[in-house]
Amino acid sequence: MFSGEYEYKIDSKGRVSIPPKFRSQFADGIVLNKGVDGCIDAYPLPAWNEATNQFQSLPIVRNEKSRRMSRILFSSAFNLELDEQGRIMLPPALRQHAAIKDTLVITGVSNYLEIWSKESWNKEQALIKKETWQIFESAEPHK
């Protein structure tokens, strides 16, 4: 399980370290993809394979929306391996998507990581802080 918040700097070659406590979970590889909230999602390869298998087993009608959903999931997915220092190279397209230039934040989100620009993460944190009670209230079971 992934949790916590970790701040890193991207190096001149576009590489970033994965937090040491999580590296073993990416021994088989890491899949990066465009996150829907303007971040980069990072999945251990087995978790990505499980998610894509579930997606592909859905009885999806081959319509415009399902084709677009497939494009969203697969066209921006990058299958990578950590180097000897536990770093990954963030592809330029994903760095651009997440507006990552220098400082970034890696957050644990249960079964995957999110990689945010520092600025975008600060905005997300402010929004979360403002809406925390509504978020938890809406998650309560209805009586």
* Cα–Cα distance measured from residue 139 to residue 122, given in angstroms and rounded to the nearest whole number: 24
What contacts 13, CB < 8 A, 6 or more positions away?
89
The tens digit of pLDDT for each residue in 72-81 reads 889 999 999 9
What contacts 26, CB < 8 A, 6 or more positions away?
18, 44, 45, 82
What is the mean pLDDT of the segment spanning 39-59? Answer: 89
**CATH dotted code for 5-139:** 3.40.1550.20
The tens digit of pLDDT for each residue in 56-69 reads 777 666 778 777 88
The secondary structure element, H or E, covering residue 56 is: helix 45-57
2 φ, ψ to 5°? -105, 135
The tens digit of pLDDT for each residue in 84-103 reads 999 999 999 999 999 999 99
Question: Residue 34: pLDDT band by 50, 70, 90 thresholds?
Answer: very high
Nearest to 114 by CA among 4, 9, 11: 4
